[in-house]
Amino acid sequence: MADLEGVSYFIPVSRARVRQAVLDLPGLKEEEKEAMGNVAEMMEALWHHRAHSTQERLKALYEDFDPFEHPEETVGGVDEFLEVFDDVLQDGNWEPISDQELQDALEGEDVFPISLDVRFDEFAKMRLYKLGEHRFRDIRKSFFGLRKTEIEVDAYDRVLQVVQYNDEAWFQSNKRMKHYPGVLANGLHLHLFKTVPKLDLETIFPNTTPNMRTLDRLKILAPAIAGVVTAGVKFGPILFGKGEPGDTSLSLVLGTLAGLCTYMLRSYLSYRKTKESYLAQVSKDLYFKGQANNSAVLNLVTDLSEEQEVKEAFLAYAFLYIESDKRYDTESLDDRIEAWLNESFDVIVDFEVDDALGKLEELKMLQRAEDGTLSVVGIPQALQIIDEIWDNLYDYS
C-alpha cells in the first residue's frame, strides 16, 4: 500500500484514539499495556517540548507582520518566516495545493451556486496548503428547486492560506484603488479553514468578484425576454407597417409597456437578490469553516505537526515491538500500519514509514539487521532512553 497516488500522508485520527487502539491490540500482554501507554506519554512530552520551541520561534518571526498587530507596512523577514513555517508544515504532513488543483477549482462546477473570479495579481505572495482529503454527502437542487439529488463531494480536511498583498503603490499604478483594502492589507495573512470542497476553493479568497452561472443568468433574463417577446407579438404589426395604430387602444399599449417595465424591474431585483444570496452563502460558509487567523494559526499548525510526529513514531515502535515475530522490514511494516489504520478507523493513509523509523533511530530505539529486518528495544529500555533525554534537556551545571 506504499506510495498510494492521491492519498494523504496525514493521519486523521487523534493521538488518544490511536494510543487506545494500539493498547487494545491482541499481541500486547495485559501487564505491558500500562508501560506501553507510558512510552506514548513520554513521546508526547518530548515532542511537545520540541514543538514549543518551534512555536516560539515562529511567533517571534511573525510578530512584526502580524495583521492583528496593525503593522504600518510589510517589513523584512517574511521569507525567513516562510522557510521555517514550511519545515513545520512538512513535519505535519501538509502538502502544497498545486496550480493544477487550483485551476480545476476555478474551472470546475461549484458545489454551491457561486461562481467567483479571484484577482490573483493583487498578491505579492500567495500559498495554499492542504491537510488530508475526504468525501461528504451534500444535497444539490435542480429544476428551480423542485428536484433534490444527493451527491458526494470531494473536500480537503483543512486548507491553509498564506497571503501578502501588494503595496498601495501597486494598486495606484495599476488603477485598482477601488479594490485596495487599505491598512487591512498590511502584513502577512494566515487563514486556516476546515472541510473545503475542492471545487469551491476560490471561496476562501478575500478578493473575489461574484459572477452568475449560465443557468442562473437564464433564470434572471427569462422574465425580460418574455416581456420583449410579448411586446413584439402585440406591436409587431404596427412597427413593421402591417397594421394601423388605431388597431390597438392606447390603454392596451400603456398596459403592455408597463408590463414590460415590470418584467425588467423584476429581472433587476432578481439579479440583486441572487447576488446577495451568493455573498451570504460565501459568508456563511467561511464562518463555519474558518478555524483560525494569523498568529492563532501558528498554534494550531504546530500542534497538528506535533501530533503527526508522535503518532508516526509511536505506531512504528508499537508494531515492531508487539508483532516482533513478523520480522518486518521497511516495506512490510509500512503495509501493515496502513492496513491497520484502514481496518481500525476506515481511513486510507500513505504512512511515512521512513520518517517514523528515522525518529526511532534518532532516539536510539531502532535496530536494523543486515537482511533489512527491523526491531526495537524493549519497553523498559525505551522508557529509560526517553527519560534520560528528558532529564538532559536542560543542564546548566
DSSP 206-240: SSEEEE--HHHHHHHHHHHHHHHHHHHHHHHHHHT
pLDDT, mean of residues 341-354: 93
CATH label of the domain that carries residue 34? 1.10.10
Inform me whether the pLDDT recorded for 104 exceeds 90: no
Taking the model in full, what pTM does it have? 0.76
Same-domain status, 86 and 218? no
Is 9 a domain residue? no
pLDDT, mean of residues 233-243: 54
Same-domain status, 192 and 312? no
% of the chain exceeding 90 in pLDDT:
46
Q: What pLDDT is stored for residue 256 in this prediction?
A: 61
Inform me whether the pLDDT recorded for 355 exceeds 90: yes
pLDDT, mean of residues 288-308: 89
Same-domain status, 178 and 218? no
Choose the most confident range, by mean pLDDT, from 57-61, 109-113, 277-281, 374-378.
374-378
pLDDT, mean of residues 266-277: 67
Is 147 a domain residue? yes
Inform me whether the pLDDT recorded for 249 exceeds 80: no
Inform me whether the pLDDT recorded for 1 exceeds 50: no
pLDDT, mean of residues 113-134: 85
Choose the most confident range, by mean pLDDT, from 68-77, 93-102, 141-150.
93-102
pLDDT, mean of residues 294-304: 92
Query: Residue 156 in 3-state DSSP?
Result: strand
pLDDT, mean of residues 76-82: 85
> When comparing pLDDT for 329 and 269, which is higher?
329
Q: Which domain holds residue 205?
A: 62-211+286-296
Same-domain status, 160 and 218? no
Inform me whether the pLDDT recorded for 179 exceeds 70: yes
Is 1 a domain residue? no
Same-domain status, 207 and 223? no
pLDDT, mean of residues 182-207: 88
Q: What pLDDT is stored for residue 271 in this prediction?
A: 62
Q: What pLDDT is stored for residue 2 in this prediction?
A: 39
Q: Which residues contact 291 (CB under 8 A, 6 or more apart)?
A: 158, 192, 193, 194, 300
> When comparing pLDDT for 149 and 118, which is higher?
118
Residues in the chain: 397
pLDDT, mean of residues 136-158: 70
Inform me whether the pLDDT recorded for 343 exceeds 90: yes
Q: What pLDDT is stored for residue 123 in this prediction?
A: 93
Contact at 8 Å (CB) between 9 and 350? yes
Q: Quick one: pLDDT band at residue 198, thresholds 50, 70, 90?
A: confident
Q: What pLDDT is stored for residue 184 in this prediction?
A: 84
Same-domain status, 202 and 220? no
Q: Quick one: pLDDT band at residue 244, thresholds 50, 70, 90?
A: low
Q: Quick one: pLDDT band at residue 241, thresholds 50, 70, 90?
A: low
Q: What pLDDT is stored for residue 4 in this prediction?
A: 41
Same-domain status, 314 and 221? no
Inform me whether the pLDDT recorded for 150 exceeds 90: no
Is 344 a domain residue? yes
Inform me whether the pLDDT recorded for 326 exceeds 90: yes
Contact at 8 Å (CB) between 296 and 340? no
Please state the domain count of the chain. 3
Same-domain status, 69 and 206? yes
Q: How many Cβ atoms from other residues are within 10 Å of residue 48's Cβ?
A: 16
Contact at 8 Å (CB) between 115 and 213? yes
Q: Quick one: pLDDT band at residue 200, thresholds 50, 70, 90?
A: confident
Inform me whether the pLDDT recorded for 167 exceeds 60: yes
Is 279 a domain residue? no
| Cα separations in angstroms, 241 against 69, 244, 375 | 73, 7, 98
Q: How far apart are CA 310 and CA 46, in angstroms?
A: 9
Angle at 262 between CA 257 and CA 265, to 5 degrees: 130
When the pLDDT of each residue in the chain is averaged and rounded to a whole number, the result is 82
Strand spans (E) along the chain: 95-96, 115-118, 123-142, 147-165, 189-197, 208-211, 290-293, 366-368, 374-376
Among the listed ranges 52-66, 105-119, 299-313, 333-347, which one has the minimum average pLDDT value?
Answer: 105-119
Same-domain status, 70 and 203? yes
Sign of CA dihedral 166, 168, 171, 176: positive
Is 291 a domain residue? yes
pLDDT, mean of residues 316-321: 97
- DSSP classification of residue 68: G
- What per-residue string of b and e applies to 88-127 under the rule 16 or more CB within 10 Å gives b? bbebbbbbebeeeebeebeeeebbbebbbebeeebbeebb
Is 303 a domain residue? no
Q: What pLDDT is stored for residue 189 in this prediction?
A: 94
Is 4 a domain residue? no
Same-domain status, 27 and 124? no
Inform me whether the pLDDT recorded for 188 exceeds 60: yes
Same-domain status, 101 and 183? yes
Beta bridge partners of 148: 141
Same-domain status, 29 and 126? no
Q: What pLDDT is stored for residue 145 in this prediction?
A: 53
Q: What pLDDT is stored for residue 253 in this prediction?
A: 57
